[in-house]
């Protein structure tokens, strides 16, 4: 299993541009999450999904959109990029309770470092 895979690893955007951060997992996890981590700070939840077709806002959703058309994929869309969106973005997934012995462990991707200039 590859686990949680994010692309790209690095990206520089100009103010006002848009982009999609890709996230895919091959563990058949129902729950998926997007977090951002600002330098020297903790992780803030942007959006999450409990299954295909279902998404919901987290702590800091403004400026972002998500979709979940399949169990495997959970892309994060940035519209009209702003300098305040400069951050490291982590995608994570976790199984539904009962799928595994550690039924709530979240597995993280390697992150996407985004700079908006």
Partner 1 sequence: GENVEQHPSTLSVQEGDSAVIKCTYSDSASNYFPWYKQELGKRPQLIIDIRSNVGEKKDQRIAVTLNKTAKHFSLHITETQPEDSAVYFCAASKKDSSYKLIFGSGTRLLVRP
Residues that bind partner 1 (CB under 8 A): 31, 33, 35, 40-45, 48, 50, 56, 58-59, 90, 92, 94, 97, 102, 104-106, 108-111
Nearer to partner 1, 12 or 80 (CB): 12
Go through 44-54 and write b for each residue having 16 or more CB atoms within 10 A of its CB, e for each that does not. ebbbbbeebee
> In the complex, what is the shortest distance from the CB of residue 90 to partner 1, in angstroms, rounded to a whole number?
6
CB atoms < 10 A from the CB of 83, how many?
10
Pairing label, strands 87-94, 31-37? antiparallel
> In the complex, what is the shortest distance from the CB of residue 45 to partner 1, in angstroms, rounded to a whole number?
6
> In the complex, what is the shortest distance from the CB of residue 30 to partner 1, in angstroms, rounded to a whole number?
10
55 φ/ψ angles, rounded to the nearest 5 degrees: -135, 160
Nearer to partner 1, 4 or 116 (CB): 4
Nearer to partner 1, 33 or 64 (CB): 33
> In the complex, what is the shortest distance from the CB of residue 44 to partner 1, in angstroms, rounded to a whole number?
8
Q: Which residue has the tokens 């997934």?
A: 93
Question: Do 94 and 108 meet the contact criterion of CB atoms below 8 Å apart?
Answer: no
- What does the alpha-carbon distance between residue 15 and residue 85 come to, in Å, rounded to a whole number? 10
Nearer to partner 1, 13 or 34 (CB): 34
């Amino acid at each position: 299993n590859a686990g949680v895979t994010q692309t790209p690893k690095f990206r520089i955007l100009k103010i006002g541009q848009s982009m999609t951060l890709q996230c895919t997992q091959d563990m058949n996890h129902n729950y998926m999450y997007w977090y951002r981590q600002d330098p020297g700070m903790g992780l803030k939840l942007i959006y999450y999904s409990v299954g295909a077709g279902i998404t919901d806002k987290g702590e800091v959703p403004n400026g972002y959109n998500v979709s979940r058309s399949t169990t495997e994929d959970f892309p994060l869309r940035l519209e009209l990029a702003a300098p305040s969106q400069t951050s490291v973005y982590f995608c994570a997934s976790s199984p539904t309770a009962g799928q595994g012995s550690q039924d709530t462990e979240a597995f993280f991707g390697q992150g996407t470092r985004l700079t908006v200039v």
